[in-house]
Amino acid sequence: MKQFAVIGLGRFGVSLAKELYALGHDVFAIDLNEERIQHIAPHVTSAVQADACDLAALKTLGISNVDILFVTLARDISASLLITLNAVELGIPEIYAKAYSDAHAKILRKLGVTKVYMPEIEMGQRIARELSHADLLELIELDPENEIAEMRSPMQWENKTIDQLSVRRKYGITILLIRSAEHLTVSPTPQQIIYPDSKLLVLGKKEQIQKLQEQ
C-alpha cells in the first residue's frame, strides 16, 4: 500500500483520489476550497483545506512523507508550477502533474516532474486513432514512447506463424497474446499460428504500432 497526496480537487483530482482510495491506498487530499474538501472527505484517508502554494503549510501537513504526489491543477499555471516547486523542495520521491498546454508540460518536465498528464489532449488523440483505424480495439499507454494495443490481426497474417511473419524484426513489436474463437495463447512461441479472425495484444513503440495498423 502506497501513500498518495492529491493537490487540486477538480473533476480529475476527485476521480483520481477516489479511485486510489478504493484500490486500498492511503490518500491525502488537499484543496483551498472548503466545499470540495467536505465533498471528498468520506472518500479518502484525510482531506485538508490548505494553500499548497505555501511551502510552510505543506511542511506542517507532513506532505514530504508521501510516496507519490499529484498536482492536478492545470488552468492555474502559476499555482501548478509553484506547488510543483514546493514538492521538489520537500524531496517527494515521485511527482505527477496535469498540464494545460505543451508549454506548461515542458516547464513541468524541466522542474523534474516524474510524468506529465494532459488528459483532454491524450484522450482526444486516442479516440481519433481508434476511429481512424477500425482494427484497433484498445490502447494502453505505458510511457511517452511505448504502448500496449489490442487489435485485430491483419488478414495477410492469417494461418501463418509468428516466425514466418518476422514480426519482431519487420515490425519491431512483441505479440503478448493471441485470442481467437477457439484458442487463447499467452506468450506465443515463434511457431504459433495466427488463426483467422484473431485478436492480438501487442507491445511496441507507438510509431511501430501505428505503422502496423496502416498495413
Q: Which CATH fold would you assign to the domain 3-117?
A: Rossmann fold (3.40.50)
What is the separation of C-alpha 12 from the centre of its chain, rounded to a whole number of angstroms? 13
Residue 66 DSSP code? -
Question: Each residue of 14-42: pLDDT tens digit?
Answer: 999 999 999 999 999 999 999 999 999 99
1's grid cell: 500500500
Decide if 71 contacts 95 (C-beta within 8 A).
yes
Q: Distance between CA atoms of 7 and 32, rounded to whole angstroms? A: 9
Over residues 77-101, mean pLDDT: 92
Which pLDDT belongs to residue 162?
A: 92
List Cβ neighbours of 87 (8 Å cut-off, separation of 6 or more): 58, 63, 69, 71, 95
Q: Which CATH fold would you assign to the domain 122-213?
A: Alpha-Beta Plaits (3.30.70)
Q: Distance between CA atoms of 99 and 115, rounded to whole angstroms? A: 10
Domain with CATH 3.40.50.720 in the chain: 3-117
Domain with CATH 3.30.70.1450 in the chain: 122-213
Which range of 86-90, 100-104, 201-205 scores highest in mean pLDDT? It is 86-90
DSSP letter for each residue of 111-134: TT-SEEE-HHHHHHHHHHHHHH-T
- Picking from 82-86, 87-91, 175-179, which range would have the lowest pLDDT averaged per residue? 175-179
Which pLDDT belongs to residue 126?
A: 56
